[in-house]
Amino acid sequence: MQDEEAVDSSDSMNVTDIVLQSSSPKLSHKQDYIFHGGRRHVRPYYFEFISHVNKRWTGKTIVDLFADEFKGRPRDYYVGAVKSGRIKVDGETVPVSYIVKSSQKITHFLHRLHEPPVMTDDVEILLKEPDVVTVCKPASIPVHPCGQYRKNTVVGILDAEHDLGPLFPIHRLDRLVSGLLIIARTAAKADFFRQQIEGGLVKKRYIAKVIGVFPEDEKVVDANINYNGSEGRSTAEDASSSGDDQKVKGKPACTKFTRIDTNGTHSLVLCEPVTGRTHQIRVHLQYTGHPIANDPLYLTQHVDDLETKIAKRIDAGERKLVSPDDYVYSSEDFSIDPMCTNCPKLIPQGYEEHDEALWLHCIRYSGTGWEYECPYPSWASL
């Protein structure tokens, strides 16, 4: 169940008067989007989150469960949501003192957390076949619904603008990574790709723009990747450098790097990951001493100050584009919900990030009997 932000429960709206969008066969429609300030926004809508009572939740009151587990909203909100029927147990309205039992279904009906904006770059279709579609994914857009994103995803945009759905993504690119994305149009084709991926038959190629003069000879990095979910970043550890009495952390990971070009300040590097760990290419490039030149997560402390400024560049004009105060409610855009903490603002509460395209781009995937490619991005020229 998604943890949402705090709201004022002093007023409420009858749930029966609200259209539930999760019941629609289409994920998105063209009219769901608002283009403003160089960003693609999603008109806020109602959504029903579903969860089941786990062992830790068993024995708590329905209000205590939400107040303890989803701290983004005040306790008073959850009291109001239970009383108004926005929070139900097994489809029934319950009193605030109700004690939940194992495996019960809990639904939380709310004004969907206003989705964060993404860049307005088009999701370019490269190839459309009866059972496969390949696209060039822009940076800043997630592949599929996750976290705060649902309609502002590659899958959502393709459904809205090209009536392509349902779709079955067979691999994932991080939100800030651009490039080739292969999407199956049938479950059978998705299974075909997954079998080849799981069988180690798929070869992947990326390009990255890194700091400094990357070594001319091919370089293979074989270093475990340890992902820290609470920090949202990975670290690399060379298994051969650890003593016999020291346990190596993380999962085995291997990436092959080949320099394509260099101008003395930056290098363009071909990256061929053998495994697929979280942030593998980014952290392995950092491990070589040549991190991606605009990667704020993995730039080392020894990077020239100019490069640090490039990576974290947010001038006053760009900051204004994503300010929550920059675009507020208009009756022509969406209907406000008196219980929603984001309304009347369109941008989610606390959203202040500025997305730049990470200089990492997927250019090719190939397997047994197939190969798909994507053009180079503009930043790939030195």
- Tell me whether residue 319 is in a domain: no
**pLDDT tens digits for 332-342?**
677 788 777 67
The average pLDDT across 186-209 equals 95
The average pLDDT across 177-195 equals 96
**Residues 288, 215: one domain?**
yes
**pLDDT tens digits for 243-268?**
555 677 789 999 999 999 999 999 99
CATH of the domain at 106: 3.10.290.10
| Pairwise CA distance, residues 69 & 243, whole Å | 40
Share of the chain above pLDDT 90, in %: 58
**Among 210, 202, 311, 203, which Cα is nearest to 259's?**
210
**Residues 273, 365: one domain?**
yes
How would DSSP label each residue in 47-105?
Answer: EEEEEE--TTTTTSBHHHHHHHH-TTS-HHHHHHHHHHTSEEETTB---TTPBP-TT-E
**Residues 169, 286: one domain?**
no
**Residues 282, 368: one domain?**
yes
Q: Which of 174, 222, 326, 333 is catalytic?
A: 174
**Residues 228, 267: one domain?**
yes
Predicted confidence at residue 113, as pLDDT, reads 65
* Least confident span in 121-135, 187-201, 226-240: 226-240
Find tokens 């219980």 and name the residue. 339
CATH of the domain at 123: 3.30.2350.10
Better pLDDT: 343 or 15: 343
- Tell me whether residue 29 is in a domain: no
| Pairwise CA distance, residues 97 & 79, whole Å | 10
Better pLDDT: 91 or 238: 91
Asked if residue 33 lies in contact with residue 41, where contact means CB atoms within 8 angstroms, the answer is yes
**Residues 174, 303: one domain?**
no
- Domain-terminating residue out of 112, 128, 154: 112
**Residues 244, 363: one domain?**
yes
Q: Is residue 190 over pLDDT 90?
A: yes
Q: State the average pLDDT for the chain.
A: 83
Count structural domains, the chain. 3
How would DSSP label each residue in 339-354?
Answer: T-SSTTBSSPTT----
**Residues 259, 296: one domain?**
yes
pTM of the model: 0.77
Q: Is 174 known to be catalytic?
A: yes
* Confidence grade of residue 310 (pLDDT, cut at 50, 70, 90): very low
Residue 53's identity, in one-letter code, is V
**Residues 286, 180: one domain?**
no
* Confidence grade of residue 17 (pLDDT, cut at 50, 70, 90): very low
